Amino acid sequence: MATIFSQIISGEIPSDIVFRDDRVTAFRDINPSAPTHILIVPNKEIATVDDVTGEDEALLGHMIVVAKDIARKEGISESGYRLIINCKSDGGQEIFHLHMHLLGGKRLGPMLAK
């Protein structure tokens, strides 16, 4: 079954898309945790990091390059930002379509809540 992110990528569900190419789509998180909170999502449906294969290596590297370019456009390259990929339940993953969070625009604090 298509995930909600696949429906966003196909345009079935509207979203604030900031970047798109043949491999990834990036759009603003509907419930942002920081002034900049963008999700970078492979167009190909991969459920979790645990489902990644060697064939996906270039795609995953591309996601980081896209994140860096978006951060620059968002004006947060100098102040810095955080990239997060949650995996399965202990990782806090809610949507089972692999995605990278780009967060910035404020001091994000410690990496994990104690």
Q: Going by C-beta distance under 8 Å and a sequence separation of 6 or more, which residues neighbour residue 34?
A: 103, 104, 105, 106, 108
**By CB under 6 A, is residue 64 in contact with ligand 5GP?**
no
DSSP notation for 26-71:
EEE-SS-SSSEEEEEEESS----GGG--GGGHHHHHHHHHHHHHHH
Q: How many residues bind ligand 5GP (CB under 6 A)?
A: 13
14 binds ligand 5GP (CB under 6 A): no
- Looking at the Cβ atoms of 65 and 95, the one nearer to ligand 5GP is 95
Q: Is 62 a catalytic residue?
A: no
Q: Taking CB under 6 A as the rule, does residue 4 contact ligand 5GP?
A: yes
Q: Does 45 bind ligand 5GP (CB under 6 A)?
A: no
Nearer to ligand 5GP, 78 or 85 (CB): 85
Q: Which of 2, 30, 64, 65 binds ligand 5GP (CB under 6 A)?
A: 30
State the Cα angle at 62 between 2 and 64, rounded to 5°. 100
Q: Kindly name the residue from 62, 97, 99, 101 that is annotated as catalytic.
A: 99
List, in order, residues 6 or more apart from 111 with CB less than 8 Å away.
82
The catalytic residues are 99
Q: Which residues in this chain contact ligand 5GP in the complex, by CB under 6 A?
A: 4, 15, 27-31, 39, 86, 92-95
